[in-house]
Structure 1
Amino acid sequence: MNKYLVAAALLFTMSAVAPAQEDSMGKLNHRIESAHEVLHALMDTPDKGIPLDIAAKAQCIAVVPSFKKGAFVVGAEYGQGVATCRTPRGWSAPVFVQMEGASFGFQIGGQSTDLVLVGISHHSLDDLLKDKVKLGGDAAVAAGPIGRNSQVSTTELANAEFLTYSRSKGLFAGIDLNGDVVHQNTADTNSFYGKDIPYRVILSGRVPTPPSAVHFVRTVNELFKRGRVRETH
């Protein structure tokens, strides 16, 4: 009798785990799709988007759709997204990241915005490989300029490792994310690839891009190519 109970319990467990895994993959694929939509919106607004010369310099890009901000005296910020880095063979398969921050003061309310972080120095990859990166502390960060030309002339912009952008009500603008923290989301990355793969291996381009992420990586590549074409003319 016991063996039947064990078998029944095993079947129940397997039937419960499979939908949970499918649901988890569905959420991760949705996150990639949302990031893809943010980049498409960015490409469709060249006069209010990332300047092409900055796109040409991009080493890594992280997209955090629907970054949440909520406040009641003490504010909290949180979001999850994906990141990819440039390699000699194109842009890498994505990894999953999360961002969080806090603010203080007399405030109340909440909002959601899309964020794009553009790593423009060769240190960008090393920054993303850290388990936790504090923007403005571990990595120099500045609100990115918008438009077709960057006009990067200030010391802050020239020394920045990451330029940051936000989209609110369909329009993109530079945003100050000093103090926010970018984490590796190793659990989601491992779930997406079905095994434990180090961030460096994925971001170096040694892992094939899964079918559900091809359109995201292709869009990043297209954004980069536009910048490169502009830079050579």
Structure 2
Amino acid sequence: MKTKLIGLMCTMAMGATAVVSQAQDPKLTERLNNASAVLHEVMDTPDKGIPQGILSNAYCVVVVPAYKKGAFVVGAQYGQGVATCRTPRGWSAPVFVRAEGGSFGWQIGGQSTDLVLVAMNKNGLEHMLSSKFKLGGDASVSAGPVGRNAAADTDASMHAEFLTYSRSRGLFAGIDLTGVVLSQNADDTRSEYGANVPFGVVLHGGQATPGNAVNFVHTVARYFVVARAAQN
């Protein structure tokens, strides 16, 4: 019975909008699929993943697969990601974002890492709707707690607009992303939807989910619903 209930809740969390079927850019489809894979790999290890207390209260989820740092170029950190936000009708269709800058002392050479950012309140959502903002400057940010630490969950969610995580070489941990700039990728978003749809329209649930994005949105919705159920 509980499994059926969670399945029903997942369907509802996907949102009430229709699914759009149209020719999609293979590079964007790959990015969406990679983002789904990152979330699966992170959440399939619950004792080391994003705590359920964090995910159950998320307003938006951003995934940047393979955020890269150049070997010799100063300030060459760069990544392309996707984001979805929670609406009264479920999780929104995705938008495409860029992540630039920041400095990770433990990154060496051309190593890349996957990033996950969780917006924890309405202020974080409002920043997501802006064209560009800096973590740790325009928006407060904190390295997110990992695992089943309820006390850490509560403390972190009360003090930061964004909680941030990284996955590199199989290891997953909270990370300080102060200085990273997150901006809208209007070109990729326009390519995905075939029109210049504003970020606010998409993230508020006013845009149907394209067929190539269903897996990503469903993945976020699934783990959100499971986290919510675990809190009850």
Is TM-score (shorter-chain normalized) higher than 0.5? yes
Instruction: Give the Å deviation of 1:81.
Output: 0.6
> Is 2:53–2:227's contact at 8 Å kept on the other side of the alignment?
yes
In structure 1, stretches of 5+ residues that fail to align are 1-21
Instruction: Give the Å deviation of 1:125.
Output: 1.7
Identity of aligned residues (%): 60
Instruction: Give the Å deviation of 1:226.
Output: 1.4
Q: Deviations over 1:56-104 (max 9, x none)?
A: 1100000000000124373421000100000011100000001000549
Q: Deviations over 1:166-207 (max 9, x none)?
A: 001122100110011001001100010000100000000111
Query: Could you say which residue in structure 2 is the equivalent of 1:165?
Result: 165
Aligned positions of 1:87-98 closer than 5 A? 87-98=87-98
Query: Could you say which residue in structure 2 is the equivalent of 1:145?
Result: 145
Q: Distance in 2 between matches of 1:231 and 1:198?
A: 34
Larger radius of gyration: 1
> Is 1:64–1:114's contact at 8 Å kept on the other side of the alignment?
yes
Question: By percentage of residues, which structure has more helix?
Answer: 1
Q: Distance in 2 between matches of 1:104 and 1:60?
A: 24
Q: Distance in 2 between matches of 1:85 and 1:180?
A: 20
Q: Distance in 2 between matches of 1:104 and 1:145?
A: 18
Question: By percentage of residues, which structure has more strand?
Answer: 1
Query: Could you say which residue in structure 2 is the equivalent of 1:31?
Result: 31
Assess, with a 3 A threshold, how the Cα gap between structure 1 residues 222 and 104 changes in structure 2: closer, same or farther. closer
Q: Distance in 1 between matches of 2:45 and 2:104?
A: 33
TM-score (norm 1): 0.84
Verify: 1:66 aligned to 2:66, yes or no.
Answer: yes
Q: Distance in 2 between matches of 1:60 and 1:182?
A: 13
Instruction: Give the Å deviation of 1:129.
Output: 1.0
Q: With a CA cutoff of 8 Å and minimum separation of 6, indicate the structure with the bigger relative contact order.
A: 2
> Is 1:145–1:151's contact at 8 Å kept on the other side of the alignment?
no
> Is 2:63–2:117's contact at 8 Å kept on the other side of the alignment?
yes
